Structure 1
Amino acid sequence: MKAPILIVRKLPAAGMAIFPFILLKKQAYKGDTQIINHEKIHLRQQLELLILPFYILYLFNYFFNLIKYKNHYLAYRKIIFEQEAYDNEHDLSYLKNGSWFSWLSYFKWTI
């Protein structure tokens, strides 16, 4: 998947995926295969959910986690989409070999 990369210096994170773009905080991150792969995983997740539902689920999951854990960083890391991306960002063949909708396996129905 070839995604256009934009440099956004005031980005609050190293990288971010907003379909169809990958946003990076620094030009140097263009060469960071881990960050790029992480964001490409998010782009596929967005496609799987036809884009808008991804953002709704992402925010819902974050706010649910924030109430549950009362900690921004933990709430962010427990987002199902982030779990899939972080778990597989080192595997550069993940998008080619991995199953679609794998983020569903991270869904926990407990409070």
Structure 2
Amino acid sequence: MILISKYLVPKGYAGISIFPFIFLRKQELKLSKTLVNHEKIHLKQQLELLVIPFYLWYLIEFLVRLIQYKTWQNAYRNISFEREAYHKESDLKYLNNKPFWSFLKYLRI
């Protein structure tokens, strides 16, 4: 389910997925198929990790990347979940055949 909330979406971002919802900053963003697909990829990732472990992994990996890359934006873009979502967001059929735990392919150690 897609909801509109400029208050729940952090500044500088267009959307955020918090299972089972996708929150978008503006109504017109619903028309962006790539953005909605990006957020749906995150919902699938959350399901694969049974939701709570997803958020723990995301936070820990973000903190590691922040130490590694020194900037918020670089840390965010290098989280394995984000790397997969950005890489596959234009492939609107990706979710039909997404391999289980495919985000691991994007994990950099």
Q: TM-score, length-normalised on structure 1?
A: 0.93
Tell me how far 1:98 sits from its aligned partner.
2.3
Structure 2 gap ranges (5+): none
Write out per-residue CA displacement over residues 9-64 of structure 1, whole angstroms, 9 at most, x where no aligned residue: 13221011000000000000111100000000000000000000000000100000
Q: Map 1:54-69 to 2 at 5 A.
A: 54-69=54-69
Tell me how far 1:6 sits from its aligned partner.
0.8
Q: Distance in 1 between matches of 2:24 and 2:14?
A: 6
Picking from 2, 5, 9, the partner of 2:6 is 9
Given the alignment of the two structures, is residue 97 of structure 1 paired with residue 97 of structure 2, yes or no? yes
Q: TM-score, length-normalised on structure 2?
A: 0.94
Q: What is the identity, as a one-letter code, of the residue corresponding to 2:4? A: I
What count of residue pairs does the alignment treat as equivalent? 106
Q: Map 1:1-111 to 2 at 5 A.
A: 4-10=1-7, 11-12=9-10, 13-109=13-109
Q: What fraction of aligned residue pairs are identical, expressed as a percent?
A: 52
